Structure 1
Amino acid sequence: MTHKQLFQYQTVGELAAVATFAPADEADQGPVTGNVPLTPIQRWWFAQDLAVAHHYNQTMLLAGPPDFDERLAEQAVAHLLVHHDALRLRFTPTPDGWQQHIPATDEASASYFAVVDLADLPADEHSAAITAHASERQDGLDIEHGPLVQVVVFRLGANRNYRVLFIIHHLAVDAISWRVLLDDFALVYQQLQRNAAPQLPAKTSSFKQWAEGLVAYAQSDPLAKEAPFWLAQEQSLPALPVDHTAPATANTEGAAQSVAVMLDETETRDLLQEVPKPYHTQINDALLAALAFAFREWTGRSQLRIDVEGHGRESILDRVDLSRTVGWFTAIYPIILDITGVNDAGSALPAIKEQLRQIPQHGVGYGLLRHLNSQSTLNTQATPSPAPEVTFNYLGQFAADTSATGLFVSARESVGPEISPANRRAHLLEILGSVTNGQLHFIFVYCPSFHDPATISTLAQHFTTALRAIIAHCKSPEAGGVTPSDFPMINAHALGKYAALLDEEDNA
Structure 2
Amino acid sequence: MEKAADALHAGFDLGRGPLLRAALFRFGEARRPFLFLTAHHLVIDGVSWRILLDDLDIAYQQGVRGEPVDLGTKTTAFRDWARRLAEHVAEGGLDHEADHWCEALDARPLPVDHQVATPGPEIGTVPVELDERDTEALLRSAPTAYRTRINDVLLAALALALSRWTGQERVSVELEGHGREDVLDGVDLSRTVGWFTTMYPVSFELPDLPDGGLADWRGLVKSVRRRLRTVPGNGFGFGALRAFGPPGLRERLSRHGDGPQIVFNYLGQWDARSAESQGGLVHAEHGSFGQDHDPREGGSHLLEVVGAVQDGQLGFTWRYRPDVHERATVEAVAGDFAEALRRIAGDCRGTV
The normalised TM-score by structure 2 is: 0.88
Instruction: State how far apart, in whole Å, the 2-side matches of 1:356 and 1:447 are.
Output: 28
Q: Which residue of 1 aligns with 2:317?
A: 443
In the TM superposition, what is the alpha-carbon distance from 1:426 to its structure 2 partner?
1.4
Q: Which residue of 1 aligns with 2:161?
A: 294
Instruction: State how far apart, in whole Å, the 2-side matches of 1:360 and 1:241 are.
Output: 29
**2:121 is the counterpart of 1:247:** no
Residue-pair matches, total: 345
Distance 1:432 1:268, change over 3 A: same
**2:142 is the counterpart of 1:285:** no
User: Residue by residue, what CA displacement relative to the aligned partner does 1:204-231 show, whole Å, maximum 9, x if unpaired?
Assistant: 2221221122112222444111111111
Instruction: State how far apart, in whole Å, the 1-side matches of 2:119 and 2:223 are.
Output: 37
Q: Which residue of 1 aligns with 2:340?
A: 466
List aligned pairs for 1:214-253, cutoff 5 A. 214-237=85-108, 239-250=109-120
Q: Which residue of 2 aligns with 1:189?
A: 60
Q: Is contact 2:135–2:312 with CA below 8 Å preserved after alignment?
A: yes
Match of 1:256 among 98, 123, 127: 123
List aligned pairs for 1:302-313, cutoff 5 A. 302-313=169-180
Residue identity in the other structure for 1:195: G
Match of 1:275 among 142, 146, 164: 142
In the TM superposition, what is the alpha-carbon distance from 1:246 to its structure 2 partner?
2.9
Instruction: State how far apart, in whole Å, the 2-side matches of 1:230 and 1:371 are.
Output: 13
User: Residue by residue, what CA displacement relative to the aligned partner does 1:236-278 show, whole Å, maximum 9, x if unpaired?
Assistant: 41x2222233335226xxx122222222223222212322234
Distance 1:319 1:457, change over 3 A: same
DSSP-derived class of the 1:274 partner: helix
Distance 1:380 1:427, change over 3 A: closer
In the TM superposition, what is the alpha-carbon distance from 1:340 to its structure 2 partner?
2.2
List aligned pairs for 1:51-70, cutoff 5 A. none
List aligned pairs for 1:165-180, cutoff 5 A. 165-180=36-51
DSSP-derived class of the 2:119 partner: helix
DSSP-derived class of the 1:335 partner: strand
Instruction: State how far apart, in whole Å, the 1-side matches of 2:90 and 2:195 are.
Output: 22
156-165 or 433-442, which deviates more: 156-165
In the TM superposition, what is the alpha-carbon distance from 1:162 to its structure 2 partner?
2.5
Q: Is contact 1:245–1:450 with CA below 8 Å preserved after alignment?
A: yes
Distance 1:460 1:141, change over 3 A: same
Match of 1:366 among 219, 238, 241: 238
List aligned pairs for 1:61-460, cutoff 5 A. 130-157=1-28, 160-237=31-108, 239-250=109-120, 255-344=122-211, 346=217, 347-375=219-247, 377=249, 379=251, 385-401=257-273, 406-410=280-284, 416-460=290-334
Q: Which residue of 2 aligns with 1:95?
A: none
In the TM superposition, what is the alpha-carbon distance from 1:134 to its structure 2 partner?
2.8
Residue identity in the other structure for 2:271: A
Q: Is contact 2:61–2:279 with CA below 8 Å preserved after alignment?
A: no
Distance 1:383 1:427, change over 3 A: closer
Q: Which runs of 5+ in 1 are unaligned?
A: 1-129, 480-508
Instruction: State how far apart, in whole Å, the 1-side matches of 2:134 and 2:253 are.
Output: 46
DSSP-derived class of the 1:290 partner: helix
User: Residue by residue, what CA displacement relative to the aligned partner does 1:130-188 show, whole Å, maximum 9, x if unpaired?
Assistant: 33333323232221221111122234445553232212110111111111111211221
Instruction: State how far apart, in whole Å, the 2-side matches of 1:139 and 1:209 are.
Output: 29
Taking only aligned residues, the RMSD between alpha carbons, in angstroms, comes to 2.7
Residue identity in the other structure for 2:260: P
Distance 1:281 1:243, change over 3 A: same
Distance 1:305 1:468, change over 3 A: same
DSSP-derived class of the 1:188 partner: helix
DSSP-derived class of the 2:251 partner: helix
DSSP-derived class of the 1:195 partner: coil
Q: Which has the higher contact order (CA 8 A, sep 6+)?
A: 2
Distance 1:382 1:389, change over 3 A: closer
In the TM superposition, what is the alpha-carbon distance from 1:286 to its structure 2 partner?
0.9
193-202 or 296-305, which deviates more: 193-202
In the TM superposition, what is the alpha-carbon distance from 1:440 to its structure 2 partner?
1.5
Residue identity in the other structure for 1:169: H
DSSP-derived class of the 1:431 partner: strand
List aligned pairs for 1:36-51, cutoff 5 A. none
Q: Is contact 2:59–2:70 with CA below 8 Å preserved after alignment?
A: yes
Distance 1:361 1:451, change over 3 A: same
Instruction: State how far apart, in whole Å, the 1-side matches of 2:287 and 2:258 are.
Output: 38
Q: Is contact 2:112–2:324 with CA below 8 Å preserved after alignment?
A: yes
In the TM superposition, what is the alpha-carbon distance from 1:468 to its structure 2 partner?
2.7
Q: Is contact 1:263–1:439 with CA below 8 Å preserved after alignment?
A: yes
Q: Which runs of 5+ in 2 are unaligned?
A: none
Residue identity in the other structure for 1:327: G
DSSP-derived class of the 2:186 partner: coil
Instruction: State how far apart, in whole Å, the 2-side matches of 1:472 and 1:222 are.
Output: 45
Instruction: State how far apart, in whole Å, the 1-side matches of 2:304 and 2:106 are.
Output: 21
Distance 1:400 1:240, change over 3 A: same
